[in-house]
Amino acid sequence: MADMEIRKDRRAGRMTFNRPKALNALSHEMVKDIHAALLDWQDDSEVELIIIDAEGEKAFCAGGDIAAVYRAGLAGDHSTGQKFFFDEYRMNAAIADYPKPVIAFMNGFVMGGGVGVGGHASHRIVGDTTRIAMPESGIGLIPDVGGSWLLGKAPGRIGEYLMMTSNRMDAGDAIHAGFADYYIPEDQWTALSDRLAETADISAIKGQTPPESALAARDLSAFEADSIGEIIARLEAQGDTDSLKPIGRNSPLSMAAGLRLVREARKDSRMQDSLAREYRFTHRATQDGDFIEGVRAQIIDKDRNPAWSADASDQAVEAVLSPLGDAELNFTN
């Protein structure tokens, strides 16, 4: 059975993540299949909207399947990762700009690559099991797949906070932060998706009052500081150990670059600009930085004890986010 079930269902184009044992992790083939279906259905009059959901109760999509990227990078093959991220980001942009409604039913874990699919849909539905996060700093990456765009548009300093701590959002937090639109109890999702496929009437999507957002009540003033070091100093002064603990586990270079990306995304008028900036980092990730060590510690050996070694100075951040010339991400060919 395919890892991504793609089919027409009455008036809908439907995509279902189908790797529940792998928490529906997004492979390169799945990326290409999603993008191809979007292109096929764009001018198909039989398809009036797109529905994206997932098999299994644990995850909508808990991230990208990056073990292959790790193995290739370890062997000196950096093109495998570059091609994966290149294709993934173009697919993310296609979802964000799609001319027909895209409805995402995001249950369980929605992280990294899952945010890149569901987080850019036009109608983003969450429920009681939903847990959304951008935990890339823990594996030596940055919030990519348009994550810097979403974080940059979040209220106040939520973007900096989520980027640095990798903390998870429940349904109430996700709606408050702008990562989701509707809270609907999950026992109603099957009937709703059936009705959408039957009628193509998006007015059937009626959100209920979401759970209260604990994130909305947090004091995030420390994250206004100019640098990672200053943010940490403010958190220490506040005694905010809940934030300091995860920050202490993450890659210093990833957080420093992530801070730049989130803040620059605030000035962007289109997500493609944020994606292109993210790609400069991920294009270099397997060759420079902490990615190989981060994946080893968190995913391969699972010792949860990465030995971060990348330079996190301003000059290093400037270098890892510098333009790529002919290798820049594009959305036209």
Mean pLDDT along residues 62-80? 93
Mean pLDDT along residues 110-117? 97
Residue 301 lies in a domain: yes
Pick the closest to residue 66 from 113, 131, 120, 134 (CA basis). 113
Residue 332 lies in a domain: no
- Domain span at 83: 4-327
pLDDT at res. 65: 85
Distance CA 120, CA 114 (A): 10
The count of structural domains within the chain is: 1
Q: Assess whether pLDDT exceeds 90 at residue 333.
A: no
Rg for the chain, CA atoms, rounded: 19
Q: How confident is the model at residue 332 (pLDDT cuts 50, 70, 90)?
A: confident
pLDDT per residue as tens digits for the range 293-302 = 999 999 999 9
User: What are 178's two structure tokens?
Assistant: 């702008």
Residue 56 lies in a domain: yes
Mean pLDDT along residues 266-271? 96
Residue 132 lies in a domain: yes
Average pLDDT, the chain: 97
pLDDT at res. 221: 97
pLDDT at res. 50: 98
Residue 209 lies in a domain: yes
Q: Assess whether pLDDT exceeds 80 at residue 1.
A: no
Distance CA 219, CA 158 (A): 10
Task: Give the pairing of strands 4-9 and 12-17.
Answer: antiparallel
Q: Assess whether pLDDT exceeds 90 at residue 58.
A: yes
Residue 32 lies in a domain: yes
Is residue 181 within 8 A of residue 260, CB to CB? The reply is no
User: What are 234's two structure tokens?
Assistant: 């403010």
Give 290's Cβ-side CA count (13 Å radius). Answer: 29
Please report, for residues 5, 153, 164, 202, 256, the alpha-carbon distance to residue 207 in angstroms, rounded to integers and kept in the order given. Answer: 27, 22, 30, 12, 37
Residue 333 lies in a domain: no
Say which CATH number the domain at 162 has: 3.90.226.10
Q: Assess whether pLDDT exceeds 90 at residue 309.
A: yes
Residue pointed to by tokens 């210093």: 252
Q: Give me the helices (H) in 121-188, please.
A: 147-153, 158-165, 171-177
pLDDT per residue as tens digits for the range 179-204 = 999 999 999 999 999 999 999 999 99
Residue 127 lies in a domain: yes
